[in-house]
Structure 1
Amino acid sequence: MRRADRPAHADIVTRGITVTVLDGPETTQCPDAAERPLFLLVGQMFAILGAVLLCFVAQLALIGAVKHERDQDRAFTDFRYQLANATAPVAALTEDGRLLETGTPVAILEIPRLRLREVVGEGTSSRSLKSGPGHLRNTPLPGQAGTSVVLGRKAAYGGPFSRISELRTGDAIVVTTGQGEHRYLVQGVRRAGDPERPAPGSGAGRLTLITADGPHFLPTDVLRVDARLTSEVVATSGAVPAFAVPENERLMIGDSSALVPVVIWALILAVAAVAVVYVRQRVGRWHAWVIGVPLLGTVGVTLADQAAALLPNLL
């Protein structure tokens, strides 16, 4: 009897004993074993992608903060030496009329209320603000007549300006430059839509601190803190016109010069990922772990650091 014609069970009589035979369930064919390596490969690639994203988050929130502290220690040592030898810059231009090199220490910013002390570097690109606050090139240095502008990050790379929104009218700010110590008193905090303050009068000085406004890592606009100079105004020299400021140093702009390094490191990461997967397939799991963790970790963190420069400079 054919399988399709017989009932789900059959009684067989053997030597007077009736035995009931039940048909088993229909068996399904297992997927082709040759397809398994493909699924495994895809899974491993997604795992590597997830690790890279984790490196990116760690770079912004943790590793970046360590880098910021390291760069600040170096800048403070260098600037203190320059102050002691009267070689600290007092203008945004060098003696031969060129822009100061990006990242050159130009001031030490102290806000007692926030227990903040940061070395201010020249330039405000996303890359340079990883190391600390930056002085906007086309504004006078602190202590000089006019409005001096300093930009700083709100969240990433230590977020040195994360709490400046807490400043209140009358809070003190002290800035040390190559021309001495300059004291300011906070006038207030401004957000998008608030009226601008009138320009300081002739022979008067102001300091404006700028950072991102809104939740951490999700900026909605910019926040400004204005402070008036209460100490003596010092000589102003070496003014830089606004058109001389590079595009990547303007507010909420990323550093496009980081695009090429990002592409290069992304290619290196892709090659490293393929190599690790190959080792996993051909040699073994533990060999892949021993080789892959330090290799992909190093490349992933470097790629994340370069990619972070493409994000807005006040993030």
Structure 2
Amino acid sequence: MDVPALNLSQVVLEGTDSAVLTDGPGHRRDTPMPGQAGTSVLMGRAAAHGGPFGRLADLAEGATFTVTTGQGRAKYRVVGVRRAGDPAPATVAAGKGRLVLVTATGPRFVQAGILRVDAGLVSAPFQTPLAVIRSGTLPESEQPLARPSGVPWPLVMWLQALLLAAVAAVRAWHRWGRHQTWIVFAPVVAVLGLQVATRTTELLPNLL
């Protein structure tokens, strides 16, 4: 996806849960692919992990952008930006295409609501196959502002590794001395700390 008005160029992934949106914007799996007829939806984070969709509110009506898929390049024109309470546009006409960009709105890392940018397809629509995933059947974890479900086992495992490294560093401090311990354990603790921070941000709602 290339949005010149925002100087934004992103690879879009498939899926919209928190883990997927950690790596970049995601395509909602129960909507058509961009460029096809119907309403397609892309979701992305507003702040965490680079906040690829953090400036969507700056898109002005009439701005154009493109999305490239295996079927070719589709061109869209922004028709409006809406927040909670704003009226939704009319249902897209048969044979026409629309793309909705979705992210969080409000202060950074604060869950205030959902922002949507509606854009109409201005290039010819690509061939649109029958939907593989029916609308309304996605798990709750792929809905806007959803949090991961279940126990965050990756975070638990990285925390355990960080704890073991800290215990080993304390023992090494008494046996080797301060300088040798810093040389050996500083890179290890830094890497483990980065992994813990990454897994912790995955617990945020998927659009933050």
Task: Give TM-score scaled by structure 1 length.
Answer: 0.62
Q: How does 1:1-315 map to 2 (within 5 A)?
A: 109-239=1-131, 240-256=133-149, 259-315=152-208
Aligned to 2:11, the other structure's residue is in SS state strand
Structure 2 counterpart of 1:309, one-letter code: E
Q: Does the aligned pair in 1 maintain the 2:36–2:127 contact within 8 Å? A: yes
Runs of 4+ residues over 4 Å off in structure 1 = none
- Cα RMSD for the two superposed structures: 1.7
1:189-246 deviation digits (Å, cap 9, x = unpaired): 1011111122111111110001110112223111100011112122211411134423
Aligned to 1:269, the other structure's residue is in SS state helix
> C-alpha separation between the residues in 2 aligned to 1:205 and 1:182?
10
Q: Does the aligned pair in 2 maintain the 1:118–1:132 contact within 8 Å? A: yes
Structure 1: where are the runs of 5+ without partners? 1-108
What is the identity percentage for the equivalent residue pairs of Structure 1 and Structure 2? 47
> C-alpha separation between the residues in 1 aligned to 2:128 and 2:150?
31
Measure how far apart 1:255 and its partner are: 2.9
Q: Does the aligned pair in 2 maintain the 1:124–1:250 contact within 8 Å? A: yes
Q: Does the aligned pair in 2 maintain the 1:191–1:223 contact within 8 Å? A: yes
1:164-199 deviation digits (Å, cap 9, x = unpaired): 110111111211222222111101110111111221
Q: Does the aligned pair in 1 maintain the 2:48–2:201 contact within 8 Å? A: no
> C-alpha separation between the residues in 2 aligned to 1:280 and 1:218?
41
Q: Kindly indicate which of the two structures has a greater share of residues assigned to helix.
A: 1
| Number of equivalenced pairs | 207
Measure how far apart 1:287 and its partner are: 2.7
Identify which of structures 1 and 2 has the higher relative contact order when contacts are C-alpha pairs closer than 8 Å and 6+ apart: 2
